[in-house]
Structure 1
Amino acid sequence: MTPRLRPAVADDIDALAALNMAVWKAAYPGIVPQGFLDRLDIGRFLADWAFMLAEPGVLALVAVDEGGAVRGFIACGPPKPEVPGYAWEVYRIYVDPAAQRLGLGRALMGAAGRAMRDRGGQGAILWVFEANQAARRFYGRLGGREVRKQTFHIFDGMEMVEVAYGWPDLRVLAALD
């Protein structure tokens, strides 16, 4: 599959929300409580994407297949909270489970890296669940390095640990194809 990458637009919100929820249900069993996954509501994802696409400074790209269906996405913007040395945060990057291992994630990270570089600022960071070993290996293969950890209370009162991967030099991401 050769993805076509383009900016996400408001007309993509339904597809983005549906894919976001589907990937959570496929990727996170055993990582987040099953009860939380069972209660996921498409309305939450619709609201999140509507807010994100309306937010100034957010860069969102989609990977679409030959038929125009959204098969992956990435959304980036200013770090929340601010992280010294990193002007950008990758808020979300997900690929349809049926389209994984075809280069879409790498293509999305490369395109976002070029766009972040072109918009100015240095460095990108993203947060991933510590238990998500597959994603952590992927980010490591793309040149990301673990730069910090944080624990937070979420998901049915459970503590979760996130690991931040950082790319201090956006040229590393921009060089990905």
Structure 2
Amino acid sequence: MTQIDTSILIRRGRREDAANLAKLHVDVWRATYASLAPVEAKTLLDEARRLPYWQSALVLQEPGKGVWVAVDADEAIRGVISFDASGHPAFEGRREIKHLYVALDAQGQGIGQRLLQMAISECRTAGACGVALAVVRQNALARQFYKKMGGVEIGGFTDPGPLWRSDNIVVAWDNG
């Protein structure tokens, strides 16, 4: 059973969080995909490349769309989740979890669970028919986590990039 760290606060992301979110994103992505992604993709994904996404995502937040962060007592960001409408047909109208990252040294403390539960709840409250995300097929740990969290694998697609063509599984949490 995961030990929940109750000292972690979940709050809306703020514009001033963008640089720290870009760093967290790159650090966790590189560690997660160290043996899965091509070297070129790992080289090209850096903080400068991710910063514009986080700056943009933090501007307009509303029910069913936004960025939430997990912070410790010192306001250090320990995790992040971003979600929005999806334009990809594989999501079949569900809201999309765009990113879910937990700092490497904070994994296993329930932060990912809390962030995911919060995003699903917010999307449902905003009237979404469900929530889904794409996970790289070979990312067995993430797939196990999503299954444990009640996600159902409903399909897949090949993501064309921009950094790497990856084989993805769509995991969904439908309103029931």
The answer, yes or no, to whether TM exceeds 0.5 is yes
Of 130, 134, 141, the match for 1:127: 134
Kindly indicate whether residue 28 of structure 2 is the aligned counterpart of residue 20 of structure 1: no
Deviations 1:108-145 (A, max 9, x none): 01111221122222200100101101000000000001
User: What letter matches 1:29 in structure 2?
Assistant: A
Distance 1:152 1:94 in 2: 19
Superposition pairs of residues 81-100 of structure 1, within 5 angstroms = 81-82=88-89, 83-84=91-92, 86=94, 88-100=95-107
The residue number in structure 2 matching 1:32 is 37
Query: Is the 8 Å Cα contact of residues 69 and 79 (structure 2) preserved in structure 1?
Result: yes
Distance 1:56 1:22 in 2: 25
RMSD between aligned residues: 1.7
Kindly indicate whether residue 68 of structure 2 is the aligned counterpart of residue 61 of structure 1: yes
Question: In 2 relative to 1, CA 149–19 (structure 1 residues): closer, same or farther, beyond 3 Å?
Answer: same
Matched-pair identity in %: 30
Query: Is the 8 Å Cα contact of residues 85 and 168 (structure 1) preserved in structure 2?
Result: no
Query: Is the 8 Å Cα contact of residues 86 and 93 (structure 2) preserved in structure 1?
Result: no
Per-residue deviation, 1:56 = 5.8
Question: In 2 relative to 1, CA 6–56 (structure 1 residues): closer, same or farther, beyond 3 Å?
Answer: closer
Question: In 2 relative to 1, CA 155–48 (structure 1 residues): closer, same or farther, beyond 3 Å?
Answer: closer
Kindly indicate whether residue 159 of structure 2 is the aligned counterpart of residue 161 of structure 1: no
The residue number in structure 2 matching 1:108 is 115
TM-score of the superposed pair, with normalisation by structure 1: 0.87
Query: Is the 8 Å Cα contact of residues 127 and 164 (structure 1) preserved in structure 2?
Result: yes
**Which aligned segments of 4 or more residues in structure 1 are displaced greater than 4 angstroms?**
none
TM-score of the superposed pair, with normalisation by structure 2: 0.88
Distance 2:165 2:45 in 1: 18
Unaligned runs of 5+ in 2: none
Query: Is the 8 Å Cα contact of residues 32 and 155 (structure 1) preserved in structure 2?
Result: no
Query: Is the 8 Å Cα contact of residues 66 and 84 (structure 2) preserved in structure 1?
Result: yes
Unaligned runs of 5+ in 1: 172-177
Partner secondary structure for residue 125 of structure 1: strand
| Equivalenced residues, count | 168
